[in-house]
Amino acid sequence: MKGSGLVVAKIKDFLNASYEENPPAKIGEYMLDSELSNKYGKVYFSISKKKVVIVFRGTKELSDWSNNLIYGVNVNAYKLTSRYKTAKRMYEKAKKKYKGYTSDLLGHSQAGLLVNLLLDKKDLDGISLNPAYKGETQGMNEYIIRSSLDPVSVLKAPRNAMNKVLYPNWSKSHNITIPAKTMNPLTEHSIDILDRLPQDKFIGRLKGGCMNKKYVIESQFPFD
């Protein structure tokens, strides 16, 4: 499975679907795989595009908060939680079922951590919105979008200048910071901040692993 990226509007649709108990059976050309989907994540596939999208939801219920606390103590301990193991099984089953498809992993909040931990550093694209972050290594195929005042991803300040030296193919689109419009942490952490970006902007790699420079979004941080 190779990565290929998505436009902002589709990213928002998939992230919203990840939280729904009765998600839409279809998002654009993508159909819900009810066999692989569960309350913690959804799998959508497109036969015509030969592409699958695996999207995990963030914090929603009490057990999610306990997982957050475990992550706060130790990321390796987090890998022992049922939340992580469930996401890993979903990813592995989708990878096997949709062999030969392009694919993206998506996640919001706590699920952004799942994207980081599960992401195949060589192939899949990972796209995270306001991800939980404590210094995990960001992959070359991992794209992070966050609000400048999001409390969950506050430690994820872009390091584009350094990464560009270390990784020749690094671009500013790997770390996209959306300027905050409010002082409300819940608002700035929500999926709705994606409305502040052009809905047709492309995030990720195009088929073949190359970035389309037309769609690069500049970081709002002046030191990058």
Task: List, for residues 165-213, the tens digit of each pLDDT value.
Answer: 555 565 667 889 999 999 999 999 999 999 999 999 999 876 444 444 3
Q: Are strands 6-7 and 41-46 parallel, antiparallel or unpaired?
A: unpaired
Q: What pTM value is reported for the model?
A: 0.85
pLDDT digits (tens, 9 = 90+) for 35-90: 999 999 999 999 999 999 999 998 876 666 677 778 777 788 888 898 899 999 99
Cα–Cα nearest to 157, from 212, 224, 107, 71: 224
pLDDT digits (tens, 9 = 90+) for 6-37: 999 999 999 999 999 999 999 999 999 999 99
Taking CB atoms within 8 Å and a gap of at least 24, the contacts of 59-64 are: 59/109, 59/110, 60/19, 64/110
Tokens of 112: 């952004």
What pLDDT, on a 0 to 100 scale, did the predictor assign at position 17?
97
What pLDDT, on a 0 to 100 scale, did the predictor assign at position 71?
78
